Each structure stands twice: as structure tokens, then as C-alpha cells.
A and B are shown apart, each in its own frame.
Chain A
Amino acid sequence: MTTETGTSERSILSFLDRRRPVVRVSVAAVGTLVIAGLVILCAGPLFWLFKAATSTTTETLSAPFSLWPSGIHWDSFVQVWTRVDFGRYFWNTLALMGGSLFLGLLVATTGGYGLAVLRPKYAKAVFAALLATLFIPGVISLVALYLTVIDIPLVHVSLLGSMWAVWLPSSANAVNVLLMQRFFANIPRELFNAARIDGAGPFRMFFSIVLPMSRPILGVVSLLTLVGSYKEFLWPLLVLPNPQDQPISVALPRLQSSIDFSQFMAALFISVIIPVALFLVLQRRFLQAAGNAGALKG
């Protein structure tokens, strides 16, 4: 399920078709158009954002497309980092991502292992309950989840204003558990049977067979979790009311009209350039993960 099988097979057009000049020219023309359109549409905003972040506010607001009439100004970036203390929001974002990743992987690997390999009698019921959450729209529990987080049942602790309020709920991600479960289920049973005969218990099998063998799926789930947590807005907005605890996504709308326009553009640019850089490096994995998610949904 990758997008890169292009080297081998044909698609709608055959090799024969492609030899015809009309087809060749029109494919080339359409291809150029598509690429040009995509560059303007998808990369254009990123370029413009960079331009706006390195121009003065007046320049951008009076002539949004003039290219650096008074040269490139980097001071907006400096201002954002020093005066606006963007570093703190950045750090908060990283902390949120890290915690969600750890807890998400913990729940998904142990749960997937239990469901796919250990398979006790109650596994069926758990699996059904898990599937059910996929079909019940998340919106139903937004308010109730919020009320749960501000007063955790049994222990009566309020997580409001603490990163746990984001970390813990994000770990209950059925898609991640199912991805793991599906992958683990494909590990040959003979491996486990052999290990059992060697006297290995569930823990040893988990650490010495399952985890080492599941690097690809761990990568996919990690990526999905990290991207998901970087993108979150409404939930952290609700449970992290204090500015000092907020991640970038929650801080940005607040900063929108309280800082200078070009500084704000710089803040937006900083917020987007890191995921974009990561994407350019890990392009294949990202696209694979996207395809995988689609495969699961299908």
C-alpha cells in the first residue's frame, strides 16, 4: 500500500498509449499544469508566510505580493522568540507530544498484545467495546470527558491545568490499538509456541519477540500520535486555561491581535516549518502512514 509503485506497472494509460504523441504531449501538459497548480496552491502559502514574516508589517499590509521592498528583516523572529517567549509555548507543545506518545504507545502495544496474542476469554468483549468507540462519534463525550478530567472518578483529582489532562485522554485511541492488534496478529503463532516451550512468559514474549518485530508499526503509530497531538486545538484549549501551560496551537489565536502582524506571521512560520522540515525528511513514512490509515478505514 504505497504510492511509489510507479516504477513498475502501468496505470489507466498503458505503455502503448504513452507512445502515441497526442497522449504523450497531453500527459506532459496536464502533468505540468498539475505540478504548477500544486506548487502555487500547496507550497505558495508557505512561501508567502515566509515573505510576510521577513517583511515589515506595513509592507505586507499595503502590498501583499511585493517581494521584500526594503530587504529581508529577521528581527520578527528574534522578537517572537525573546519578547513573546514563544519558546515556552514550543516547549509545552513538545511536552504534550512526548507524553501523548509515551502513553499512547504504552496502551496500544500492551493492549494490542493482549488482544492479538494473549487472547484471554474476556478479550472478545474488550475488542467489541473498542470497536464500538470507533463507531460512536467522539463529539458525544466531549463535555462528559471534560467533566471526568476535572474530577477523576474514585480518586477525585482535578487534572485541569495539568499536562495529564491532555496525555491521559489521548491514550485512549482505538485506531492505534487496532493497528497494533492487527500487526501483532500477523506474527506467526509458531514463534510464540516455541517461546512458550522454552519457558518464556507473557512478559518475555512481549519484550523479546513482539516489540523487536514491530518496529514498522511502532513507527506508524508514533507518527500518527505525534502529528495528532501537534494538531490538537479544542481539547488543550479547554483543559489548559492558563497561558503559561498552553501549546502553540492554543497560544497562536490568542497572540493573533496582541502582537505585531509581521511578528505574528513569524510565529506562524516557526509553528509550521518544523513539521514541514520533518515531513520533507520523513516523506515516505508520512505518506505511508496516510495510506495505512486509509487502508484501516477501508
Chain B
Amino acid sequence: MPPTNVRKSAAALSASAAAFALLSGCAAESPSQPGSVSITVAGQPTQENPDQLKAFKRKITDFTKANPGITVTGDESVFDVNTFQALVAGGKLPTVSYVPFTEMQGIIARQQAADITGYVGADAAVKRINPSILKVATSPDNHVYGVPVQAYSMGLLYNRALFTKAGLDPDAPPKTWDEVRAAAKAIHAKTGAQGFGAMTKDNTGGWVLTTMSYAFGSKIQSDDGKQANINNAATRGALEFYRALRWDDDTFGSDFLIGYKDITNALAGGKVGMIVQGADTYTQVVQALGMKPDDFGLAPMPQAPGGLGTLGGGSVAIINPRASAEEIKAALKWIDFAEFGKYNDEQAAVTGAKAAAADKLPVGAPVLPLFDQATTDRYLTWVKDYVNVPREHFTAYFDSAKTLPLVPEPAAKAQETYGILDNVVQAVLTRRDADINALLDDAQKKVQSAIDAG
């Protein structure tokens, strides 16, 4: 999950919105305890997205019908690095809110989420979440501080319409970086659009560069999180790739102060051909930005010889650290209902998918299996009549999920590292004579001293 505010919010939003829609109309459970408790839940779509909002409201109605003791209020706040600290300090964090994977370890370290270890029953869905995914919400001493609700991996996102216009085959996207470069040239030459694009600010530049480093063959930190390893051949290779597209080919556009919203807007609007981004971006560009589903292309992250794999991301539901025991229980119930019902009950899955499709929300958007492949497959069989996402376009991506390793984020000071790398990316893209080696040496020193400062 990228470190930018918007990026995070969008993914969290789409995760919850889609899930809510899927579950609407889900069969009521037996009414629970009479003691009443009120919770606020983040992820309520803003008015700009009326379909999603309607689905969300209906979701709440269904939930409260099934749980008469619990009052649920929707909250529009979405994760935003700029306001998260404020909400925590002001005690105004909703009972349930969604944060990106990449923020979780910092949140745990600062004790900004409730410890739910004691509230998770043996048969809870949380227990079945893929351990490598649950790890992002687990502290070093094995306490659980959140529930991962969606996971994805980074891939190459492209505009299929632009590919066709440029005379490229949208069903055979580039597999290597040389092919990416060639495709970028073709797109720029034939359509005038920007061939390849990358985010550069709000820590997203460093986040994508880290993904690129993995694909070029190196991590940027030792696994124990003690040693920064910024100036390595792979990162240099990734930056050389940027440099070539920007300064030799001129296929990288001209604006290098852009974040998640800008780049997804450009992709949806056909202004950029290819970007490196999380697969979940589908919901953002199709649902919120109006891109045609058939124009959305998704390919596995291209790998250089010796590439390590790709970065994973996702969204975690956390509970306000000041929540009472009752509120925590109610919140977990809500998370279960809103996010996981569809995996356990065919009836719930079908009615949910039906409603979602009617609301024009994506059903079957490309994400990684949260539990195991079988659960995901079972869900997809249940709802196959309602899938409105052209999943046949993503076959290569789904196949790669089984073989391409997911490389975790740097263990220590990930956000600081990304911020420092933002500058390196900006330098390479805005200065023709930028000295990549010197920039990386400097970044290495800064990251190391950030790590050492603890």
C-alpha cells in the first residue's frame, strides 16, 4: 500500500465499499445481547460516489437489523497521513477505520490501535487469514492490532485502449523492462500520450522505487531492519530506467510532482499508458474515475534478470485504541459482517454481488486471496453470474500471484525511507545531469541515520 494519504484511503474505501455492497441483503443472524453500544465506522463513501454511498447505508441497516444492540454510524474520514495523527490525538478516530499495510507497524509502535488479541475467538475469520498477510497487523510480541481486509500486489497497470491505438497487443503486455520501454516509445509516438508514469511525492515516489528495486533484484534494507541498503545495483538500474525514459526517450511526461490521485486520474483519462501500482487500483479508476472496465489492463510486475518479486500491500481495519471492551466486540462483529460474510455463505455472497452489480460496483476486482485460494475460488464460483470485471484480461496477473514472490516492505522506518527516496526520484526526473550514484549514497546515509535514531 502506498504511503500517500489518498492512495490509502482509496484502497480502504474501495475495499469496504465493495464488501458492503456484496453483503447487503445478507441473511440476518440471531439477534444479540440487549445491552446497547454505538460504534462509528469509517469507509462511508462521500457524496461524489452516490452508488457506493447507497450501498454503504443499506449495509448499515442490514447490520443493525441483525444486531439490534449495536448502533452504527458511518463516517467519511478516510486514512490520510495528514489527518491521522490529528484524529488519534483528538480522540476522534472512528471505532473502526482502515489504514494501509505500510502504516501498520508505526501504528502498533505508537499504540494507536486497540490490541484485539483477547477478543478474537478461536473460530473467528481473523484466525484463518493467510499468516503472511496477518503478520502486517501483528506486533513483534505476537499481539494482533488489526484485521487485514484486503490484500493486493503491485503490478504493471496499463491503458488497453492506448495500447490498441499504439498498435500494441493489449493481451500481450510487456514482460521485461526493455519491453516496457519499447511500449512507452510506441505509445508516445503513435498517440501523443505519455508512455510511462510514476508518482513522486508524499512518499509514493520512494514506495514505487522500492517496488522497482525488488523487480530489478534487490531489497533496500536488511531483513532485520538494521542495515539500509539503498545504493545497490538494482536501485541504480531502476533509476537508470527512469532516466532513460525521461531524458533519452522523452516518454515520461513533464510533471514530476504527482501523487496517487494524479497518476490514477491520468491513467483513467488516457493521458498515460503504463504505471506501476497496486492491482486494487481497478476500483479507484473504474468506479471513481469512470474508466471503462475493458480499458483497464493489469500485468504482473515485469522482472529484470534476478528480480526478487513484487511488493504487497493492502488495507487493515483497526479499532480506536480508546474503545471500550463492548465497542471492540461490536466493532469486530461489524468487520466480520462487512468484510468476510461473503466468503462463508453462498446466500450472502450472491445477494451481495447482485446488489453490487446493480449499483455498478465492481464484482470480482483483482485482489489477492486473503484466506486461501480455495476460499476465493469458492466465492468467485458463487457469484460468477454477477462478475462485471473483465477478469479474463487479468489471467496473467492471477497466474503470477501463484509464482511471483511477495516481498515485504522494509522492516524499519519504511515511511522515512520512502520520503528520502522521493527526493532521489524527483532529482532523476527533473535534472538531466542528476548523479544517480551520489544521490543514492546520500540517501543511504540519511536512511541509515534514521534507522539508527530508532
Answer yes or no: A and B touching, Cβ < 8 Å. yes
Kindly state the separation between the CA atoms of A242 and B289 in the bound complex, as whole angstroms. Answer: 21
Stretch at the interface among B85-93, B326-334, B388-396: B85-93
Kindly state the separation between the CA atoms of A179 and B92 in the bound complex, as whole angstroms. Answer: 37
Kindly state the separation between the CA atoms of A150 and B48 in the bound complex, as whole angstroms. Answer: 29
Kindly state the separation between the CA atoms of A147 and B261 in the bound complex, as whole angstroms. Answer: 30
Tell me if A241 and B77 are in contact (CB < 8 A): yes
Tell me if B77 and A242 are in contact (CB < 8 A): yes
A85 with B90, Cβ < 8 A, contacts A242-B77, A258-B265 known: no
Nearest CB in chain B to that of A150: its residue:
B90
Interface string of A209-251 (1 = CB under 8 A from B): 0000000000000000000000000000111011110000000
Give the residue among B78, B86, B87 with the most A Cβ atoms within 10 A. Answer: B86
A contact patch SS: loop
Kindly state the separation between the CA atoms of A147 and B86 in the bound complex, as whole angstroms. Answer: 9
Kindly state the separation between the CA atoms of A161 and B94 in the bound complex, as whole angstroms. Answer: 12
Tell me if B76 and A160 are in contact (CB < 8 A): no
Q: Across the interface, which residues of B come within 8 angstroms of A241, CB to CB?
A: 77, 80, 83, 86-87, 92
A158 within 8 A of B: yes
Tell me if B86 and A244 are in contact (CB < 8 A): no
Tell me if B48 and A259 are in contact (CB < 8 A): yes
B50, B87, B288: the one contacting A160 at CB < 8 Å is B87
Nearest CB in chain B to that of A237: its residue:
B82
Kindly state the separation between the CA atoms of A237 and B86 in the bound complex, as whole angstroms. Answer: 10
Nearest CB in chain A to that of B89: its residue:
A150
B346 within 8 A of A: no
Tell me if B261 and A256 are in contact (CB < 8 A): yes
Tell me if A158 and B261 are in contact (CB < 8 A): no
Interface string of B245-274 (1 = CB under 8 A from A): 000000000000001011001000100000
A57, A158, A238, A258: the one contacting B48 at CB < 8 Å is A258
A160 with B46, Cβ < 8 A, contacts A242-B76, A242-B77, A258-B288 known: no
B336 within 8 A of A: no
B47 within 8 A of A: yes
B6, B50, B76, B80: the one contacting A244 at CB < 8 Å is B76
Tell me if A243 and B86 are in contact (CB < 8 A): no
Tell me if B265 and A161 are in contact (CB < 8 A): no
Tell me if A158 and B91 are in contact (CB < 8 A): yes
Tell me if A243 and B46 are in contact (CB < 8 A): yes
A161, A237, A256, A258: the one contacting B90 at CB < 8 Å is A161
Kindly state the separation between the CA atoms of A243 and B45 in the bound complex, as whole angstroms. Answer: 10
Q: Across the interface, which residues of A come within 8 angstroms of B262, CB to CB?
A: 257
Tell me if B75 and A242 are in contact (CB < 8 A): yes
Nearest CB in chain B to that of A241: its residue:
B83
A205 within 8 A of B: no
Kindly state the separation between the CA atoms of A61 and B78 in the bound complex, as whole angstroms. Answer: 31
A10 within 8 A of B: no
CB under 8 Å from chain A, chain B span 62-87: 75-78, 80, 82-83, 86-87
Q: Across the interface, which residues of A come within 8 angstroms of B76, CB to CB?
A: 242-244
Interface string of A74-106 (1 = CB under 8 A from B): 000000000111001000000000000000000
Q: Across the interface, which residues of B come within 8 angstroms of A84, CB to CB?
A: 47-48
Some 27 contacts from A to B, beta carbons below 8 A apart, are: A57-B269, A83-B48, A85-B46, A85-B48, A88-B47, A146-B86, A147-B89, A150-B86, A150-B92, A158-B90, A158-B91, A158-B92, A160-B86, A160-B92, A241-B80, A241-B86, A241-B92, A243-B46, A243-B76, A243-B78, A257-B259, A257-B261, A258-B6, A258-B48, A258-B265, A258-B288, A259-B48
